[in-house]
A and B are shown apart, each in its own frame.
Chain A
Amino acid sequence: MTLEDRYYRIIDFESHDNNGTFHVALIDDCDIYQGHFPDKPVCPGVCNIDTIIECASKLAGCALRTVSIKQCRMLSVATPYDTPQLTVTVALSKNNDGKYDIVAGINHDDTAIMTFKGILEKKSSI
């Protein structure tokens, strides 16, 4: 499951070291909305988390996955109609275990949609 070009499209992004800002557009005819929810399209919070993980993977230059989440707050509901464009900010730092500490957020204009703090690891370390 990759959400890029299915759930969202990257409009542009800028990065410096392990910090990045991604402007994304939600894809309103994504199949996810057939089930979440029928006749009431709402962005699943977990898909917003995966959007953060995929942006973090671009920053790191390798596929990442979640090891743990210290806290993820879902502050406002996002929908492809009410919040068609989102800004994803990601700050990564390598920790002593060779994993990545991540602090990230999703905003729509000045409205905070999500905050995310956790630990990611390279997928290939399975």
Chain B
Amino acid sequence: MSLKEIKIEQLIPQRAPILNIDSILHIAGNTATTQLFINNDNFFLDEEGFFSESGIMEHIAQSASAIAGYQALAKGATVPPIGYIGEIKNFKVYNHPRVGDLLTTTITIGPEVEHITLIEGAVKIHSEICAETKMKIFIEE
């Protein structure tokens, strides 16, 4: 199953205006890379064109959820699973993304216990880190 053939809507249930990931670029082992281009109609933009911290968090959570969706699809699921954020820990913003920025995000998947998965997310613009966090993601079967 090639990642290029998969639409993001097959992997997560979120839709506009809250959909906040464009694609999974690649998955290898416990690590995946995702992307989001910040369009001028993005829900999370403020009046000055800054992408909010909540937008960064939602993008990271949807990236992790999309990986779970990819794994579910590979096992034959036809409907993407719903993922919820259970906890955000040590979230830090170093640079505030703006409209027109391309976010490239690395997600590292940790252990899963009773449908709760620990993940780490790091968001970069070009090669510069702009935010990072740890999260617990609850995936509903």
Chain A residues with CB under 8 Å of B43's CB are 1, 32
Number of B interface residues in the complex (CB < 8 A): 32
- Would B89 and A70 count as touching, CB distance under 8 A? yes
Which positions in B face A, CB cutoff 8 Å?
13-19, 43-46, 50, 52-55, 57-58, 61, 82, 84-93, 96, 133
Q: How far does the alpha carbon of A71 sit from the alpha carbon of B14 in the complex, in Å?
A: 24
Does A49 reach chain B (CB closer than 8 Å)? yes
- Would A32 and B87 count as touching, CB distance under 8 A? no
Q: How far does the alpha carbon of A72 sit from the alpha carbon of B88 in the complex, in Å?
A: 5
Does A66 reach chain B (CB closer than 8 Å)? yes
- Would A46 and B85 count as touching, CB distance under 8 A? yes
- Would A34 and B16 count as touching, CB distance under 8 A? yes
Q: How far does the alpha carbon of A23 sit from the alpha carbon of B54 in the complex, in Å?
A: 22
- Would B57 and A46 count as touching, CB distance under 8 A? yes
Chain B residues with CB under 8 Å of A44's CB are 18, 58
A35-B15, A67-B93, A68-B93 given; name 5 further pairs at CB < 8 Å. Answer: A1-B43, A32-B17, A32-B18, A37-B14, A38-B13
Number of A interface residues in the complex (CB < 8 A): 30
Taking the nearest CB of chain B, how far is it from the CB of A76, in angstroms?
A: 10
Q: How far does the alpha carbon of A36 sit from the alpha carbon of B87 in the complex, in Å?
A: 18
Taking the nearest CB of chain B, how far is it from the CB of A29, in angstroms?
A: 14
Taking the nearest CB of chain A, how far is it from the CB of B11, in angstroms?
A: 14
Instruction: List 6 tightest A-B contacts by C-beta distance, closest first.
Output: A35-B15, A46-B54, A69-B91, A66-B53, A35-B18, A72-B88
- Contact check: which of A1, A35, A73 meets B87 at CB < 8 Å? A73
Which positions in A face B, CB cutoff 8 Å?
1, 31-32, 34-38, 40, 42, 44-47, 49-50, 53, 65-74, 77, 118, 126
Chain B residues with CB under 8 Å of A69's CB are 88-91, 133
Chain B residues with CB under 8 Å of A68's CB are 90-93
Chain B residues with CB under 8 Å of A36's CB are 14-15, 18
Q: Which of B46, B86, B91 counts the most chain A CB atoms within 10 A? A: B91
Which chain B residue shows the least CB distance to A69? B91
Q: How far does the alpha carbon of A50 sit from the alpha carbon of B55 in the complex, in Å?
A: 10
Known: A1-B46, A37-B13, A66-B93. A77 touches B84 (CB 8 A): yes
- Would A72 and B87 count as touching, CB distance under 8 A? yes
- Would B52 and A1 count as touching, CB distance under 8 A? yes
